[in-house]
């Protein structure tokens, strides 16, 4: 299966984490993704602490890991990083134990694995709009925020901050990163950031942006792409 380069150019800067003890499987996954996605990390063990906010997709060969380790690492309410499970036997998966993990697909390690990029692309593909609850919509195409088809009057700075959070929707964005990328390293206090966040909330609804204590901010996971 082939795809035109223009159809996947926008995911080149995505970050993917591959976890598995079988090096041959890891190499097959990386070979399928290489050339389309530039940032690919591989781990053979699940560390005691894993910063999922760095990644847009996690691919994990679950055959060699205990369900408790998977649940402990990947069932965190503050992360909505999509996950693909790899297995040799679908019947071996205890779905009840893993129900709280954001699994988007489960693939068998046969010929399907050679085309794992296609499955990754489907998960990472760009959409035009984010639909939030309470009638709010954000258009990625023209960088505008709407309520019931009427544009919400965000200031230039509010819109820039909201756009950056949306662009990094699977990550927790620290104050330092916001200062660097939204304020362009100009003088800015944490109170300035909080003020802009609160203005966005006042013009929409409070829960649209999560404040993760001592870490930063992230878009709440109550949205859908269309």
> Which among 199, 205, 113, 95 has a CA at the least distance from the CA of 153?
199
Run of H or E residues at 139: strand 136-139
Yes or no: say if 134 and 77 are a contact pair by the CB < 8 Å rule. Answer: no
pLDDT in tens, 114-157: 888 888 888 887 667 888 888 899 988 788 899 988 899 999 99
Q: Please list the residues that pair with 199 across neighbouring strands.
A: none
Domains of the chain: residue spans and CATH: 5-124 (3.40.50.2300), 129-225 (1.10.10.10)
Q: Tokens 């901050």 — which residue? A: 161
Yes or no: say if 84 and 106 are a contact pair by the CB < 8 Å rule. Answer: yes
User: Can you read off the two tokens belonging to residue 99?
Assistant: 């129900």
pLDDT in tens, 39-62: 899 999 888 777 776 788 899 998
pTM of the model: 0.58
């Amino acid at each position: 299966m082939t795809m035109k380069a223009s159809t996947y150019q926008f995911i080149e800067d995505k970050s993917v984490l591959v976890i598995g003890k079988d090096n041959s499987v890891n190499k097959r996954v990386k070979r399928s993704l290489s050339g389309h996605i530039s940032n690919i990390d591989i781990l053979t063990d699940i560390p005691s602490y894993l910063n999922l906010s760095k990644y847009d997709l996690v691919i994990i060969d679950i055959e060699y890991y205990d369900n408790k380790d998977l649940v402990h690492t990947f069932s965190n309410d503050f992360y909505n990083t999509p996950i693909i499970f790899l297995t040799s036997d679908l019947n071996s998966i205890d779905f009840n134990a893993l129900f709280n993990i954001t699994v988007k697909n489960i693939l068998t390690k046969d010929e399907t694995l050679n085309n794992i990029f296609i499955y990754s692309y489907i998960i990472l593909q760009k959409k035009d709009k984010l639909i939030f609850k309470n009638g709010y919509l954000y258009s990625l195409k023209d960088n505008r925020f709407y309520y019931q088809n009427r544009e919400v009057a965000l200031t230039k700075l509010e819109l820039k901050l909201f756009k950056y959070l949306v662009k990094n929707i699977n990550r927790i964005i620290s104050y330092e990163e916001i200062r660097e990328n939204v304020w362009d390293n100009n003088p800015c206090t944490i109170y300035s950031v909080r003020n802009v966040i609160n203005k966005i909330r006042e013009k929409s609804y409070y829960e649209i942006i999560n404040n993760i204590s001592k870490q930063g901010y992230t878009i709440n996971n109550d949205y859908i792409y269309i």
